[in-house]
Structure 1
Amino acid sequence: MHLHDVIIIGGGPCGLAMGIEAAKSGLDHLILEKGSVTESIRRYPKRMRFFSTAENIEIGGIPFPISGVKANRDEALQYYRKVAGYYHLNFKLFVEVDRAEKQDDGTFFVYTTTGETFHAKNVVLATGYFDIPRLLNIPGEDLPHVSHYYDEPFRYSYTNVVIVGGSNSAVEAALELYRHDVNITIVHKEEDFRRTVKYWLVPDVKNRVKEGKINTRFNSIAKAIEADRILIENTVTGEQEWLPANFVFLLVGYIPDEHLLHRCGVELDPASKVPVYDRETFETNVPGLYLCGTVMAGVFTEKVFIENGRDHAAAIADHLSGREVRVVKELIERI
């Protein structure tokens, strides 16, 4: 079995950045990805535009030229694919990793769900968080008309749609659906939209609410979902209400795969789910096993994203190569 210097689990932007830094350092690398290249971006809403400007989501020192300031989904997919090709990154796609297991000689066997096994001196987990939605654990959450992912508006025209959540994804979906003749209601547990909503969306959504074109139920939580309706409860008054709902989007966020981390031997804080790792080298409590990108954020996924997660790769490559580690300023000390 071929012994790689490093196996990178995850082929998103941070996983690609790690592959690039490994290639630059002359390390024999392999990227294992359970979907396509940058699979999480491929699954974004088709008309999504990034919050960060294009230069802040560049990787590998390759400029991201676009006509505007902020890239959309398709532009990002094209860019990351071309950068991966430029650096001749070594991929094995559509392979899901079950666990990485440290051996007595200090190397790792990486086991997949299909029975394939790979061998490496070091492993980097760069699996992000988009695959694991936060669950409400309410009756009906698994019904076919309920989804934790928003795709595009055309399917939902002239129907009743309820969105649970009050952050960027919920607001963007609500605005797009409203403009495609959908009767929208936003249900959110707080008294207003999240303060982190993109600044240019705030006046738009608030004006649509004021006009009565987007309905809201603030200070409210979902209690149960049935075929054509959803039960909500006001957390202040305790009153319950059934809302008509042909479709329900539970856009309440996502979290890293803590079960994969556990299977790899990584220790987690029981409350925050933040893994144990060195703040300079990003090495976990398992020597030779590193974290890159949002996978290290636990429940605080809003603290780590492409803009700062891409920089973890350079520090990890330094440590793997025995160089002085470049200090990454944007860490999770704020959490």
Structure 2
Amino acid sequence: MEKIESIIIGAGPCGLSASIEQKKLGIENIIIEKGNVVEAIYNYPTHQTFFSTSEKLGIGDVPFIVEEHKPKRNQALVYYREVVKHHDLTIHSNEEVTKVEKIDGEFIVHTTKQNYLCQYLTVATGYYGQPNALEVPGSELPKVHHYFKEAHPYFDQDVLIIGGKNSAIDAAIELEKAGARVTAVYRGSTYSKSVKPWILPLYTSLVNHEKIKLHFESEVIHIDETTVTIRTPKGEETIQNDTVFAMIGYHPDYAFLESMGIELVTNEYGTAPFYHRETMETNVDNLYIAGVIAAGNDANTIFIENGKFHGGMIAEDIRQKRMNEK
């Protein structure tokens, strides 16, 4: 069994930042990642543009320089690879953590490849891998997707998008551009305030010109192979449909967090893991969380641009504990 002082689960930007900050303080660490470096960003839509500026997405004192004000997905992939090389981070890619046990004050981390022993453990797994469930009849059909990659395969198809925030609106615009017949369903009564301001005018123009059919205060109630039934303020309506994109958000892997003994608390947004704000340590000694999972179901409060600072808080707490042990 390999022994390491500190292990970080997840090689997203916040996990990378945690590794960098620990390395700066001489804390030996590795990152275990079930995919590859910044796997969630890799799975973003091909032409995704970030909401944040490149400066705010930068980590580890490595400048993120692009010509545009807002970087794109491919530019971010290049940047974070360069960060890993610059700081010489140790990442075990394509290795999934299956179980964590705490015995005699140390963590045994079981993976699909081997077991590790560590004193400090940081969970920075994000939430992109766990889409919120669409609990309606037919939601299990193969034509229902929770992730949008590219629009080309849906040319000349009837596509329904559920949701009214950035991911849904980005997908709707791309699909309409590629020649899909797009209908959007959103529970809200007006456009979400969180929508990126530079895309909202285009989206509203497409809706106003009926190139995208948008139903506010509406929801899907049934899906079958060729149609979708929606409930609108005007009543139920069944429309032709080839594909459904349920862009209704994501959540942390709560079962995994609970399996490690992390306490879950309830707030106005739903569920969230318990942690100390000053250190990011959970109710389990020496077990930390970093990044967007700290927000639980409220995905609009923690992003890369502020979650990246969790790593420094964790590293400082570990440093203090090491000093107290001497």
For 1:230 and 1:134, how far apart are their aligned partners in 2?
Answer: 19
Cα drift, residue 46 of structure 1: 0.2
Structure 2 counterpart of 1:178, which letter?
A: E
2:23 paired with 1:23: yes
Who is 2:273 aligned against?
A: 275
For 1:60 and 1:99, how far apart are their aligned partners in 2?
Answer: 29
Who is 1:328 aligned against?
A: none
Aligned-partner SS, 2:249: coil
RMSD between aligned residues: 1.4
- 2:200 maps to which of 199, 202, 210: 202
Q: Over residues 245-282 of structure 1, what are the superposed CA-to-partner deviations in whole Å (9 max), with x where a residue is unaligned? A: 11110001111111110011100014621111101000
Q: Which stretch shows the higher mean deviation, 269-278 or 84-93?
A: 269-278
Q: Which stretch shows the higher mean deviation, 158-167 or 92-101?
A: 92-101
Cα drift, residue 193 of structure 1: 2.1
Who is 1:257 aligned against?
A: 253
Q: Over residues 83-118 of structure 1, what are the superposed CA-to-partner deviations in whole Å (9 max), with x where a residue is unaligned? A: 1011111111111112322112x1100122x26211
What are the residue-to-residue correspondences of 1:57-96 with 2, within 5 Å?
A: 57-96=57-96
Aligned-partner SS, 1:175: helix
What are the residue-to-residue correspondences of 1:1-335 with 2, within 5 Å?
A: 1-104=1-104, 106-112=105-111, 114=112, 116-234=114-232, 236=233, 239-270=235-266, 272-322=270-320
Aligned-partner SS, 2:272: coil
For 1:172 and 1:2, how far apart are their aligned partners in 2?
Answer: 44
Who is 1:331 aligned against?
A: none
For 1:153 and 1:71, how far apart are their aligned partners in 2?
Answer: 20
For 1:116 and 1:6, how far apart are their aligned partners in 2?
Answer: 16
For 2:99 and 2:260, how far apart are their aligned partners in 1?
Answer: 5
For 2:91 and 2:175, how far apart are their aligned partners in 1?
Answer: 37
Who is 1:332 aligned against?
A: none
For 1:258 and 1:310, how far apart are their aligned partners in 2?
Answer: 21
| Aligned structure 1 segments of 4 or more residues deviating by more than 6 angstroms | none
Cα drift, residue 217 of structure 1: 1.2
For 1:244 and 1:45, how far apart are their aligned partners in 2?
Answer: 25
Q: Over residues 199-229 of structure 1, what are the superposed CA-to-partner deviations in whole Å (9 max), with x where a residue is unaligned? A: 1111111111111111011111111211121
Aligned-partner SS, 2:300: helix
How many matched pairs?
320
- TM-score normalised by length of structure 2: 0.95
Aligned-partner SS, 1:109: strand
Q: Over residues 257-311 of structure 1, what are the superposed CA-to-partner deviations in whole Å (9 max), with x where a residue is unaligned? A: 1111001110001462111110100000000000100011111011111000000
For 2:94 and 2:156, how far apart are their aligned partners in 1?
Answer: 37
Q: Is the 8 A contact 2:121 2:286 kept in 1?
A: yes
For 2:84 and 2:301, how far apart are their aligned partners in 1?
Answer: 26
Structure 1 counterpart of 2:217, which letter?
A: N
Q: Is the 8 A contact 2:292 2:299 kept in 1?
A: yes
Q: Which stretch shows the higher mean deviation, 147-156 or 266-275?
A: 266-275
* Identity level (%): 38
Q: Which stretch shows the higher mean deviation, 174-183 or 264-273?
A: 264-273
Structure 1 counterpart of 2:7, which letter?
A: I
